[in-house]
Structure 1
Amino acid sequence: MQQQNSLVEYGSRRVIITITAIMCALLEIVDTTIVNVALNDMRGNLGATMTEVGWVITAYAIGNVIIVPMTSWLSQQFGRRNYFAVSIVLFTICSFLCGNATNIWELVIFRFIQGVGGGALLVTSQTIITESYPAEKRGMAQAIYGLGVIVGPTLGPPLGGYIVDNFSWPYIFYINIPIGIIAALLTLQFVKSPKYSEKSKTRDIDWLGIFLLAATVGSLQYVLERGQDDDWFASREITFFAVASFLGFFFFIWRELTFRNPIVQLRVLKNGNLRVGTILSFILGFGLYGSTFIIPLYTQSTLGWTAQQAGMLMVPASITTAFMMPIIGQLLQKGVPQQYLVSLGMLLFFVFCMWGYKILTPDTSEDAFFWMLIVRGVGMGLLFIPITTLSLSTLKGQQIGQGASFTGMMRQLGGSFGVAMITTFMARRNMDHRSTLVSKLNVTDPDVAQRVTGMQHAFMAKGMPANTALSSAYKSLDYAVTKQAAVMSYMDVFYYLGILFLICIPFVLMVKGNKAKKMDMSEAMH
Structure 2
Amino acid sequence: MAKAAKADAGGGHTWSPNRSAAGKYSPWLIVAIISIPTFMEVLDTSIANVALDHISGGLSITTDQATWVLTSYLVANAIVIPISGWLSDAIGRKRYFLMSIALFTLASLLCGLAPNIGTLVVARVLQGIGGGGLAPVEQSILADTFPPKQRGMAFAAFAIVVVVGPVLGPTLGGYIVEYSSWHWVFLINVPVGILAWFLVETFVDEPEQVKKDRDERFKNGLMIDYVGVALVALGLGFLELTFDRGEREDWFASGFIVMSAIIAAVSLVALVVWELNHKDPVIDLKLMKNRNFALTIGVMGVTGMILFGTTQLIPQMLQQVLGYSSLDAGLALTAGGLATLVMVPFAGRLSGLVDVRFLLFPALLVQAFALWNMSHLSADIAFSDAAFARLFQAMALPFLFVPINAIAYVGLKQTQTAQASSLLNVSRNLGGTIGICFAQTQLAGGLQRHQSELTQTLNPLDPNYNDWMEKAASVFGGQGDATTPLAVLYSQMQRQATMLAFLDVFRAMMVVVLVVAPLVLFMRSGKTGGAPSGGMH
- Structure 1 length-normalised TM: 0.91
1:450 Cα offset (Å)? 4.2
Structure 2 residue corresponding to 1:219, chosen from 238, 253, 270: 238
Amino acid at match of 2:371: C
Partner secondary structure for residue 359 of structure 1: coil
Of residues 523, 530, 534, the one that matches 1:511 is 523
Partner of 2:445: 428
| Residue equivalent to 2:393 | 376
Indicate the larger mover: 495-504 or 226-235. 226-235
Verify: 1:366 aligned to 2:383, yes or no. Answer: yes
1:496 to 486, 508, 513: 508
Conservation of the 8 A alpha-carbon contact between 1:219 and 1:244: yes
1:59–1:108 Cα contact (<8 Å) kept: yes
Given that 2:111 and 2:183 are in contact with CA atoms closer than 8 Å, whether structure 1 keeps it comes out as: yes
* Aligned-pair CA distance for 1:418: 0.8
What is the distance in 2 between the residues matched to 1:212 and 1:139? 35
Bigger RCO (CA 8 Å, 6+ sep): 2
Contact 1:98 1:173 in 2 (8 A): yes
Partner of 2:355: 337
- Using the alignment, how far apart are the partners of 1:159 and 1:515 within structure 2? 38
AA aligned opposite 1:76? D
CA distance in 2, matches of 1:123, 1:137: 19
Matches within 5 A, 1:382-421: 382-421=399-438
User: Is residue 113 of structure 2 the alignment partner of residue 100 of structure 1?
Assistant: yes
Measure, in 2, the Cα distance between the counterparts of 1:105 and 1:415: 26
The residue aligned with 1:63 is 76
Equivalent of residue 316 in structure 2, options 297, 319, 338: 297
Q: CA deviation at 1:255?
A: 1.5
Inter-partner Cα distance in structure 2 for 1:459 and 1:153:
44
> Number of aligned pairs?
516
User: How much has 1:39 moved relative to structure 2?
Assistant: 3.0
1-side partners of 2:226 and 2:193: how far apart? 30
Contact 1:58 1:416 in 2 (8 A): no
Q: What is the aligned partner in structure 2 of residue 267 from structure 1?
A: 286
CA distance in 2, matches of 1:343, 1:398: 29
3-state SS of 2:214 partner: coil
Q: 1:106 to 1:238 in 2, by over 3 A?
A: same
Candidates 217, 227, 238, aligned match of 1:208: 227
**8 Å CA contact 1:400, 1:521 repeated in 2:** no
Decide whether the 8 Å contact of 1:21 with 1:126 is kept in 2: no
Q: Distance in 1 between matches of 2:104 and 2:21?
A: 27
Deviations 1:15-43 (A, max 9, x none): 54322211011101111121233233334
The correspondence of residues 314-329 of structure 1 with structure 2, limited to 5 A, is 314-329=333-348
Letter in 2 for 1:185: F
* Contact 2:247/2:437 (<8 A) preserved: no
Q: Once the 2 structures are TM-superposed, how far is the Cα of residue 70 of structure 1 from its aligned partner? A: 1.2
Structure 1 residue 276, shift from structure 2 partner:
0.4
Q: Partners of 2:52 and 2:458 in 1: how far apart?
A: 34
Corresponding residue of 2:367: 349
Residue type at the aligned position of 2:428: R
Other structure's SS at 1:204 match: coil
Q: CA deviation at 1:406?
A: 1.1
SS in 1 for 2:132: helix
Q: 2:295 aligns with which of 276, 292, 296?
A: 276
Paired with 1:339 and 1:14, the residues of 2 have a C-alpha distance of: 26
Distance 2:491 2:400 in 1: 40
> Are 1:37 and 2:50 counterparts?
yes
Could you tell me how far 1:107 is from its partner in structure 2? Answer: 3.1
Secondary structure at the counterpart of residue 358 of structure 1: coil
When structure 1 is superposed on structure 2, of 216-225 and 55-64 the one drifting more is 55-64
Deviation at 1:6, TM superposition (A): 6.3
Shift of 1:325: 1.6
Tell whether the 8 Å contact from 2:25 to 2:203 is kept in structure 1 after alignment: no
Asked whether the equivalents of residues 130 and 522 of structure 1 are also in contact (C-alpha less than 8 Å), the reply is no
- 1:139 paired residue among 152, 165, 172: 152
TM-score if structure 2 supplies the norm length? 0.89
Identical-residue share of aligned pairs (%): 31
Counterpart in 2 of 1:155? 168
Distance in 1 of aligned mates of 2:510 and 2:85:
34
Residues 325 and 419 of structure 1: is their aligned pair in 2 closer, same or farther, counting only changes over 3 Å? same
Letter in 2 for 1:397: Q
Relative to 1, partners in 2 of residues 1:287 and 1:190: Cα closer, same or farther, differing over 3 Å? Answer: same
Structure 1 letter corresponding to 2:395: V
Give the CA deviation at 1:2. 12
- Cα distance in 2 for residues equivalent to 1:69 and 1:147: 22
CA distance in 2, matches of 1:250, 1:6: 34
Deviations, residues 212-250 of structure 1 (Å, cap 9, x unaligned): 111111211222233333333232222211111111011
| Partner of residue 27, structure 1 | 40
Contact 1:37–1:311 (Cα < 8 Å) also in 2 = no
The answer as to whether partners of 2:152 and 2:351 remain within 8 angstroms in 1 is yes
Read off the aligned partner of 1:161 and give its amino acid letter: G
Does the CA contact (< 8 Å) of 1:9 and 1:133 recur in 2? no
Structure 1, unpaired ranges of 5+: none
Contact 2:109 2:190 in 1 (8 A): yes
Superposed CA offset, 1:118-154 (max 9, x none): 1111111222344344554322222222222222111
Q: Is the 8 A contact 2:15 2:414 kept in 1?
A: no
Bigger mean CA offset, 226-235 vs 342-351: 226-235
Q: Which amino acid aligns with 1:379?
A: A
User: Does the 8 A contact of 1:130 with 1:521 survive in 2?
Assistant: no
SS at the partner of 2:482?
Answer: helix
Q: Are 1:353 and 1:494, in contact at CA under 8 Å, matched by a contact in 2? A: yes
| Farther-moved stretch of structure 1 (34-43 vs 493-502) | 34-43
- Contact persistence 1:13–1:190 (CA under 8 A): no
Please list every run of 5 or more consecutive structure 2 residues that lacks an aligned counterpart in the other structure.
1-13
**In structure 2, how many angstroms separate the alpha carbons of the residues matched to 1:132 and 1:400?**
11
CA RMSD of aligned residues (A): 2.5
Give the deviation of 1:321 after TM superposition: 1.4
What are the superposed Cα offsets for residues 426-475 of structure 1, whole Å, 9 maximum, x if unpaired?
Answer: 1111111111112222345443344345434444433x4xxxx2233333
CA offset digits 1:57-98 (Å, max 9, x no partner): 333222222111211211122222221111111111111222
Asked whether the equivalents of residues 526 and 535 of structure 2 are also in contact (C-alpha less than 8 Å), the reply is no
For 1:371 and 1:3, the matched residues in 2 are separated by: 44
Contact 1:452 1:470 in 2 (8 A): no
C-alpha distance in 1 between matches for 2:315 and 2:346: 29
Deviation at 1:8, TM superposition (A): 5.2
Equivalent position to 1:229, from 241, 248, 253: 248
Return 309-318 or 262-271, whichever deviates more: 309-318
Give me the whole-angstrom Cα distance separating, in 1, the residues matched to 2:91 and 2:521. Answer: 41
- Inter-CA distance 163–522: structure 2 relative to 1 (3 Å threshold): farther
Q: 1:445 to 1:3 in 2, by over 3 A?
A: closer
